[in-house]
Chain A
Amino acid sequence: MPTIAKVWIEEDCITCDACQDILPEVFEVTDDTSQIKADVREDGAFDRNTGLSAIKNEFRSEFSDLIEEAADACPVEIIKFEYEGGVAEEVAEEVAPAASEAVVAPVAVADAGADAGVLAGVLSGDRSLAIFFGSQTGNAAGLAEKTAKRAVAYGLEPTVIDMDGYDQAQFSSHKRILIITSTWGEGEMPDNADELWNATVAANPSLAGVHYSVCAIGDSSYDEFCKAGEDWDQKFASLGATSILEMKMCDVDFDEPWNEWVTEVLPRIACVDSSGVFHEDLVEAMIAYGAGDEDDEGADGDFNPPTIEQAPMSLTMRIFRYDPIKAQSGYDTIAVALPGHATIEDALVAIKREADGSLTFRSGSISGLNPLTGVKANGRILPADTTRISDLVSDGGTLTVEPLPGYEVLKDLMVSYDRYDDSRANSKPWLEADPRQGERLASGAPMGVMESAQATRLHALADVGSLQLVNAMSDTFDVDDVYSGPGIALQRWVRSQDPRSGNSHVKKMFELMQRKGGVWDEADISSIQRHGIDGSQAADSLYAARSRLLAEYKFTGKSGRLVKVYSRSVKMSGNVNETTLYRSVLGPLGLGSNIMNGVSLRMMLGFTRNGGPMMRGFQGMLVPPAGIGKIPDMFNSKVVNHHEVVAIFNELDRRF
């Protein structure tokens, strides 16, 4: 294999970054063009190397393959190179098959040519292929892109389409559709597919004339394995679309089953002609054609990578800045232009690189979500490394990025997670089994292990992206230094529900949740619940934990009394009786405090409010118990059909 001696960049670079992604040691993409880096060149310059300076000897063998790969990947084919001995790229391409693929390549090309003749009718006209992805973590999106690359070999013109923001009414405009989707949580659509799914279910558009197939990825340890894919498959069938290949279900190791599916589905869907008719008799010929085309593509490098349909966007970013040395804070405002798929972190990196190198934030890894990259973006608590800006703001809008609330800000957007770490360390929410694994119960069943259903339930309970971020979702966490936060509460609750946990450990988890700093310190669970899937998950756990603790500790404490008195009050009349509530929950001391703090006076006088006749306020003040104020009806009249309310209580909870 000859090594490459020179590489250079011709004009018209579109700065797509493909070469830099493949070989950052040689290529660097600036604002205008890709350049050849100085470190690898004999002349030590940094430009397009149109002067044809040679690559340093020590790098030639190491980088040759990757330079060729980068040249192949270049969509506008402007990366040129020269082998040692002065053989130019174009010549080398003709020589290369002779050296390594002399037998295979010509045969494949000949077959492809023959098949192309047979397939001429199918290969003409509209060859579009729409590949939709529903993706939560990026796996399905990645498979969609890989599918698109392979589709080109079958004469198809693929477009990868993010389900997010897609109009269901446009489905019927396609003749060929492939859907690749993951399943989230307990059989739910991934976030980016949810809206489209609901719109499709609501509209039920006719899809007669559409050929499709679904590749579903999931986790077989869940009951609803690949449910999202099944839903799409059944919905498309019910709307009149024709399945070109049975749905493929892929487990967590999805590469192989996806490969089986794509190998089979592409030649089949490629045999759907421009009028929407499927020619099954041509599938074998299409397979051969695809194989030949694939070899051909390898020879001349004429491959156009698919693009994800998301237009570039311009926006204004307001970024919180904090200088710990001067103890000064404020906001920087900067106008930015970004690719449509850019994440918050992408934008921050670009600003740091182009505008202000002192901007400080936590950055994630390219491989996926880092639980510590959280920021507050337009009010939402989100991981910066995986959150697309287009999901938060439209083109021309403003994105305000602030540090996570509730944590100490070290600098700019970087916070210290010590508060979280300390709370976690103090509560020790890790597994402490009792008795030891390996022993057996009296029944003979093994201890220290879980059945699949239990494991699934436990896993689902704790299935959030970042517990540090869950803490910051609470509006209380920011004002109460003692509160350990909903993320810690979630961990304690999950561990208390773990059947492997020893009794003493479960008891300790309950105590930690019940005491100051525990689950009752959350003032408003609704403020957490609205933060997407993770917030909803944490809120559900808080409600479940509180319910369990009320049973465990017999409605003791102010919070316990509140639930009990409130519930009884509704049972007694159908509506909450605030008088009873104030008196029973606050008690004499609380009422006294209200009087001393002017709360009662404000209630009575409607001091800032304009609540109508003052007699209402006096009524509240004068009729026992005094100090209630603002309570016009001391005793609730019962609602019509009150017996129904009582019956509901008696049926579901006789404690009240």
Chain B
Amino acid sequence: MVKYSYYPGNVARQSSREVEDTIQPLCRSLGIELIEMVGYNGDGGNIIKQGNRDLQLALNARNLAIAMKNGHDIITPCASAQGILHDSLKTFRENPIALADANRVLEMTTGMTLDVSEITTNHLLHVLVDEIGLDKVEAAVVNPLDMDIACYYGPHMQIEGACGNDDAWNPSYMEQLITALGGRPVEYKTKTSSVGNPSLLSLGDSVMKMTARVLNDAKKAGAQVLVSACTQSHSNLDSYQGKAGRVSGKDTDIPVVNFTEIIAFALGHFTDRFAQLKTRAMLIGS
């Protein structure tokens, strides 16, 4: 059993409960034990950073320290969360003054201090490919996906050092994973482009156009389903896809699921939801 400190991100236990529903059984199936990070806080979503960089850093220092106290590196299902945690850790590693400042506040407020040499942050995708191994994933498949699937990574974790051994600019881990799960990955251009999630509530048309660009590209490439490695961006891609289509004038109708869901389905969990998805893919997808 591989153990990780589990950081759900900002929404997996809020509006995106389907992620929380599915990550637990899929990790059990693949021998990953998720250790609860008791008292974890929101990572600031790069929104708090706009008001006060040091504040977001300190909040993330607290999360990192909690994981360190657990004795296990962090795993998260959200690309945005992985990007923010990695960015904080990188800042602390490269800037001793920032680390010292954060540790001063952390010790004063929590009694903990952060040792950056003792912690790493990882997205579930990279743990599955780099550590668990696709052969083990493939062996655990119960219901092969058997669909044409486009993978969405977003930009947040597609930066050197934050995406395991995958190529930051032309990633392929999720496509490899989809293949191992019995699906057919579809290549399209904008799989690492932003859909503007941090500005979903503050900017209108441009965010909708960014969202539509990704959905339309995936659809034009022949995908029946879009799978998102970013729980935050999923909200744009799913709930806002009708609006994105109207604003942009592009065809955006395509089922969008979080990547924890699609893995759980293939591993035999939530067969009813999988059946729903396949039906929707047939009706809505390309």
Q: What distance in Å separates the Cβ of A566 from its nearest Cβ neighbour in chain B? A: 5
* Interface assignment of B164: CB less than 8 Å from any CB of chain A: no
Size category, B interface = 35 or more
CA distance A427 to B144 in the complex (A): 56
> If A559-B202, A630-B235 touch, does A547 touch B41 (CB 8 Å cutoff)?
no
Whether the pair A574, B39 counts as a contact (CB closer than 8 A) is yes
Contacts of B11 in A (CB 8 A): 576, 578
Q: Which residues of chain B come closer than 8 Å to A594, judged between CB atoms? A: 243
Decide yes or no: A611 and B17 within 8 Å by CB, A598-B243, A651-B105 being known contacts.
yes
Query: Which B residue sits closest to A636, measured CB to CB?
Result: B14
Give the complex CA separation of A652 and B109 in angstroms.
11
Does any Cβ of A come within 8 Å of B280's Cβ?
A: yes
Inter-subunit contact A558/B155 (CB<8 Å):
no
Q: In the docked arrangement, what's the CA distance between A641 and B17, Å?
A: 23
Q: Determine whether B23 belongs to the interface, using a CB cutoff of 8 Å to chain A.
A: no
Known A-B contacts A645-B59, A653-B55; the reply to A530 vs B18 at CB < 8 A is no
Task: Mark B188-208 against chain A: 1 for CB-CB distance below 8 A, else 0.
Answer: 000011111111011101110
Inter-chain contact A562/B194, CB cutoff 8 Å: no
**Quick check: B59 and A523 within 8 Å, CB to CB?**
no
Partner of A652, one of B14, B58, B254, B258: B58
Residues 347 to 383 of chain A near chain B (Cβ within 8 Å): 378-380
Report whether A610 and B210 are in contact in the complex, using a CB–CB cutoff of 8 Å.
Answer: no
Q: Which residues of chain B come closer than 8 Å to A642, judged between CB atoms?
A: 39
In the complex, the chain B residue whose C-beta lies closest to that of A558 is B202
Instruction: Say yes or no: B41 contacts A574, CB within 8 Å.
Output: yes
Cβ-neighbour of A629 out of B197, B239, B270, B276 (below 8 A): B239
Say whether A530 contacts B59, CB under 8 Å: no
Q: How far is the CB of B256 from chain A (nearest CB, A)?
A: 5
Partner of A570, one of B38, B48, B239: B48
Q: How many residues of A contact B (CB 8 A)?
A: 78
Contact digits for B112-124, partner A, Cβ 8 Å, 1 yes 0 no: 0000000000000
CA distance A599 to B205 in the complex (A): 14
Is there contact, CB below 8 Å, between A648 and B284? no
* B210 x A476 contact (CB < 8 A): yes
Assembled-state Cα–Cα distance A550/B55 (Å):
15
Contact: B284 with A608, CB < 8 Å? yes
Indicate if the CB atoms of B206 and A378 lie closer than 8 Å: no
Stretch of A84-92, A308-316, A580-588 at the chain-chain interface: A580-588
| Interface of chain B residues 29 through 59 with chain A (CB within 8 A) | 38-42, 44-55, 58-59
Residues in B neighbouring A607, C-beta threshold 8 A: 238
Q: Per a CB cutoff under 8 Å, which of B15, B51, B280 touches A608?
A: B280
Q: How far is the CA of A327 from the CA of B213 in the complex (A)?
A: 21
B202 pairs with A652, CB closer than 8 A: no
In the complex, the answer to whether B55 meets A527 with C-beta atoms within 8 Å is no
Those of A491-541 within 8 Å (CB) of chain B: 520-527, 529-530
Per-position contact with A for B171-195: 1 when CB-CB < 8 Å, else 0?
Answer: 0000000000000000000001111
Contact of A530 among B110, B158, B198 (CB under 8 A): B158
Instruction: Chain A residues near B140: list those with CB within 8 A.
Output: none
Bound CA span A399–B159, Å: 19
> What's the nearest-Cβ distance from chain A to residue B90, in Å?
10
B42 touches A575 (CB 8 A): yes
Q: A165 CB to closest chain B CB, in angstroms? A: 14
- Of listed A379, A564, A581, A610, residue having the most chain B CB within 10 A: A610
Given contacts A558-B202, A563-B47, 12 further A-B contacts (CB under 8 A): A475-B193, A521-B206, A527-B194, A544-B53, A563-B51, A599-B242, A608-B255, A609-B255, A610-B270, A610-B276, A630-B235, A651-B108
Q: Which 3 A-B pairs have the closest CB atoms?
A: A523-B196, A640-B39, A647-B109
